[in-house]
Structure 1
Amino acid sequence: MRLRDTTGRVLHLSYCTNVHPAEDLGGIIGQLDEFAVPIRERLDAPVLGLGLWLAAPVAAGLAADPAGRLRLRRELDARGLEVVTLNGFPYRSFQRPVVKHAVYHPDWTTRERLTYTLDLARVLADLLPADAARGSISTLPLAWREPWDAATADRAARRLDELAKGLADVEAATGRVIRVALEPEPGCVVETAAQAAALLSGVDTDRLGVCLDLAHLACSWESPADALRTLGDSGLPIVKVQLSAALETAEPGALRGYAEPRFLHQTRNPDGGSADDLDEAFATGLTGPWRVHYHVPLHMRPEPPLVPTTPVLRETLALLVGDGTCDHYDVETYTWGVLPPEHRPRTSADLAAGIAAELAFARDELHHLGVTP
């Protein structure tokens, strides 16, 4: 969806398709009909934005196939869909039965990650609407924190330099600006705004910046105002915002129904205590209150004593909207299939209805801040 802030600037609101498992072009086009079109119709939106996820094999195929890119663009246009942002964090197999730490591989020490991201940039340049100012790609925050030393840091720095040069080449060839946003996440080399400012200093800020995931921000117990100030002082642009909510509780036992085998659910308390997953947090007796990296639907109201971290989302949006900081907002809830049974969609229609409700929630929050259709 396209919105307009109080300065007259266009904001793009989309939903991230990494919630769907398709990893070939035919499957991706099929999911447009199964999910995206019904979502657009439920919202009565003339155009629906997608934060498209393309697994590495399909990204490589499309990057080498101009006709394939044209086909995908036509399929999107025919359905009233548009793409200004891609999620380039998961490399492939993001909805398989067990993901956990595999989502961080290959990381930014490798040429595979560089190749994948530049493939995505080439694809996005041809998918961007003609009147879109720029495109964005979110990616992992360098790597998982272990192993990490001076040698791996140097390799990652070289890959980011090559990435910036590759993005400049894409712009020279297509006339389209594509920026890549590293996404701080608990447990990774770049977990907080302060770490982003320190570890990404020296990158090409015309091409590279930060993707601010609001569930991750909440789980790090960072003040939104402090985080935005730190990023602003460092000169790192906020290229993209992922609208997401985590879970918080003062009674950790209430989270036992959320422990599940597919995704990693990093857990933090405000005193700096941490665990890399819910099972570990229970086993080590981590003291509460907890915030847990578990993306829950934005409109969901979990049973007390669980609460969503939507106050962090609202506080951050109030600081961001209208100041020219960011124009790409992507709803990213990829955990629908592992929610406790009472919250889990049973059919494709249920999932489409849930995503539409999330987008309506996000749209309404932006409207409260003076953003209009």
Structure 2
Amino acid sequence: MRLRHRSGTTLHLGYCTNVHPAEDLDGIIAQFDTYAVPIRERLGGDVLGLGLWLAAPVAEVLAADPGPRARLRRELTARGLEVVTLNGFPYRSFHDPVVKHAVYHPDWTSGERLSYTVHLARILADLLPDDAARGSVSTLPLAWREPWNATMADQAARRLDQLAAGLAAVESATGRVVRVAFEPEPGCVVETTGQAIAHLARADTGRLGICLDLAHLACAWEEPAAALKALRAGGLPIVKVQVSAAVESADPRALREYAEPRFLHQTRNPHGGAADDLDEAFARDLPGPWRVHYHVPLHADPAPPLATTTPVLREALKELAGGPEPLCDHYDVETYTWGVLPPALRPQTPRQLAEGIADELDFARTQLRDLGVTA
């Protein structure tokens, strides 16, 4: 959906489709009728924004042939859907029974990651609404932190230079600007604001920048105002914001039902304590309180003693959109964990999932409206 900042800037708010498992074009289009159209209708809008996730195989097909790209745009337009951003973090197989560390491969030392991301930029250039100022593609923060050495850092730096050149070529061919946003995440080479500045500030910041995931920011126990100030001082633009919340508890025992086999749930406490997954945190008896990289529905507070990091989300949105000029214009609700929530919280039907996502989007829209952003 489109919102208007007090400066007159259009803010795009949508939801990320990596919550859905389809990895071929027909399956992706089927998602529109099952989920996106009911969500749009529940929200009462004429247009709903989607942060599409296109797995590598379908991205290769779409990038190679304008026919399927044109079909995808027609199918979106016919349903009152639009796309200004793509999620290029998961490469493929994001809904396998076990994903864990596989989501970080291929990383930014590889040609496969470069090709995939340029393919996404080419696709997005054709999907962008005619009046959209630019497009964005989010991606992983270089690599998982181990192994990482000077040789790998040099390889990644060369890939980023090639990426910037690829984005320039897309702009030259299509007239559309697409920027790529690196998403700091716990456990990765780039986890914190300081690491983002250290590793990315020498990149082409006209085309490359940061995807600020608000759950990840909270898990790093960073204060939004200080983090954003540091990014501005370091010259790193915020290209995209993922509006997300992590689960938190002062009593770690209450988190046991959140341990599950598909995704990695990095766990952090405010004293520098860290574990790469919930099972590890329990085994090491990591002192609380914990914040866990487990995206939870924005609109639904869990039962005490559990809480969520929505206070961090609200403070971050205030910094991002509450001033005279917005610091970012692309906002994507990204709760991809609906299918692995504890059973009592998990939607049982497609309709229930669509209703939950719509309620999340309404929550995010309300937060922005409270900051003076209008429909």
For 1:356, which of 355, 358, 365 is the aligned residue? 358
> 1:340 maps to which residue?
342
Following TM superposition, by how much is the alpha carbon of 1:225 offset from its aligned partner in structure 2, in angstroms? 1.0
Contact 2:320–2:327 (CA under 8 A) maintained in structure 1: yes
- The answer to whether 1:252 aligns with 2:283 is no
Letter of the structure 1 residue corresponding to residue 350 of structure 2: S
Following the alignment from structure 2 to structure 1, what is the Cα–Cα distance between the partners of residues 222 and 368? 22
Letter of the structure 1 residue corresponding to residue 80 of structure 2: G
Following the alignment from structure 1 to structure 2, what is the Cα–Cα distance between the partners of residues 316 and 66? 39
> Which shows bigger deviation, 196-205 or 81-90?
196-205
Following TM superposition, by how much is the alpha carbon of 1:21 offset from its aligned partner in structure 2, in angstroms? 0.2
Following the alignment from structure 2 to structure 1, what is the Cα–Cα distance between the partners of residues 7 and 227? 23
Mapping for residues 222-371 of structure 1, pairs under 5 Å: 222-321=222-321, 322=323, 323-371=325-373
Structure 1: runs of 5 or more not aligned = none
Mapping for residues 94-243 of structure 1, pairs under 5 Å: 94-243=94-243
> 1:90 maps to which residue?
90
Following the alignment from structure 1 to structure 2, what is the Cα–Cα distance between the partners of residues 365 and 200? 30
Q: Secondary structure at 1:210's aligned position in 2?
A: strand
Following TM superposition, by how much is the alpha carbon of 1:49 offset from its aligned partner in structure 2, in angstroms? 0.1
> 1:78 maps to which residue?
78
Letter of the structure 1 residue corresponding to residue 365 of structure 2: R
Following the alignment from structure 1 to structure 2, what is the Cα–Cα distance between the partners of residues 48 and 289? 37
Following the alignment from structure 2 to structure 1, what is the Cα–Cα distance between the partners of residues 301 and 310? 10
Following the alignment from structure 1 to structure 2, what is the Cα–Cα distance between the partners of residues 324 and 267? 31
What's the C-alpha RMSD, in Å, of the aligned pairs?
0.5
Following TM superposition, by how much is the alpha carbon of 1:324 offset from its aligned partner in structure 2, in angstroms? 2.8
Following TM superposition, by how much is the alpha carbon of 1:212 offset from its aligned partner in structure 2, in angstroms? 0.1
> 1:4 maps to which residue?
4
Q: Secondary structure at 2:15's aligned position in 1?
A: strand
Following the alignment from structure 2 to structure 1, what is the Cα–Cα distance between the partners of residues 202 and 182? 14
Letter of the structure 1 residue corresponding to residue 371 of structure 2: L
Letter of the structure 2 residue corresponding to residue 30 of structure 1: A
Matched length: 373
Mapping for residues 45-84 of structure 1, pairs under 5 Å: 45-84=45-84
Question: What is the CA deviation profile of residues 269-296 of structure 1, one whole-angstrom value per residue up to 9, with x for unaligned ones?
Answer: 0000000000000000100000000000
Following the alignment from structure 1 to structure 2, what is the Cα–Cα distance between the partners of residues 103 and 92? 8
Following the alignment from structure 2 to structure 1, what is the Cα–Cα distance between the partners of residues 16 and 67? 24
Letter of the structure 2 residue corresponding to residue 214 of structure 1: L
Letter of the structure 1 residue corresponding to residue 358 of structure 2: A
Contact 2:49–2:81 (CA under 8 A) maintained in structure 1: yes
Question: What is the CA deviation profile of residues 70-124 of structure 1, one whole-angstrom value per residue up to 9, with x for unaligned ones?
Answer: 0000000000000000000000010111000000000000000000000000000
Question: What is the CA deviation profile of residues 111-153 of structure 1, one whole-angstrom value per residue up to 9, with x for unaligned ones?
Answer: 0000000000000000000000000000000000000000000
Following the alignment from structure 2 to structure 1, what is the Cα–Cα distance between the partners of residues 201 and 42? 43
Q: Secondary structure at 2:146's aligned position in 1?
A: coil
Contact 2:5–2:326 (CA under 8 A) maintained in structure 1: no
Following the alignment from structure 2 to structure 1, what is the Cα–Cα distance between the partners of residues 6 and 306? 35
Q: Secondary structure at 1:236's aligned position in 2?
A: coil
Following TM superposition, by how much is the alpha carbon of 1:300 offset from its aligned partner in structure 2, in angstroms? 1.4
Following the alignment from structure 2 to structure 1, what is the Cα–Cα distance between the partners of residues 204 and 338? 36
* Runs of at least 4 residues off by over 6 Å: none
> 1:34 maps to which residue?
34
Following TM superposition, by how much is the alpha carbon of 1:188 offset from its aligned partner in structure 2, in angstroms? 0.1
Following the alignment from structure 2 to structure 1, what is the Cα–Cα distance between the partners of residues 229 and 369? 24
Q: Secondary structure at 2:362's aligned position in 1?
A: helix
Question: What is the CA deviation profile of residues 161-220 of structure 1, one whole-angstrom value per residue up to 9, with x for unaligned ones?
Answer: 000000000000000000000000000000001100111121001100000000000000
Letter of the structure 2 residue corresponding to residue 341 of structure 1: P
Letter of the structure 2 residue corresponding to residue 44 of structure 1: G
Following the alignment from structure 1 to structure 2, what is the Cα–Cα distance between the partners of residues 72 and 262? 30
Following the alignment from structure 2 to structure 1, what is the Cα–Cα distance between the partners of residues 96 and 350? 18
TM-score when normalising by structure 1? 1.00
Following the alignment from structure 2 to structure 1, what is the Cα–Cα distance between the partners of residues 35 and 96? 19
Following the alignment from structure 2 to structure 1, what is the Cα–Cα distance between the partners of residues 6 and 358? 25
Following the alignment from structure 1 to structure 2, what is the Cα–Cα distance between the partners of residues 263 and 81? 29
> Which shows bigger deviation, 315-324 or 278-287?
315-324
Letter of the structure 1 residue corresponding to residue 151 of structure 2: A
> Which shows bigger deviation, 174-183 or 194-203?
194-203
Letter of the structure 2 residue corresponding to residue 342 of structure 1: A
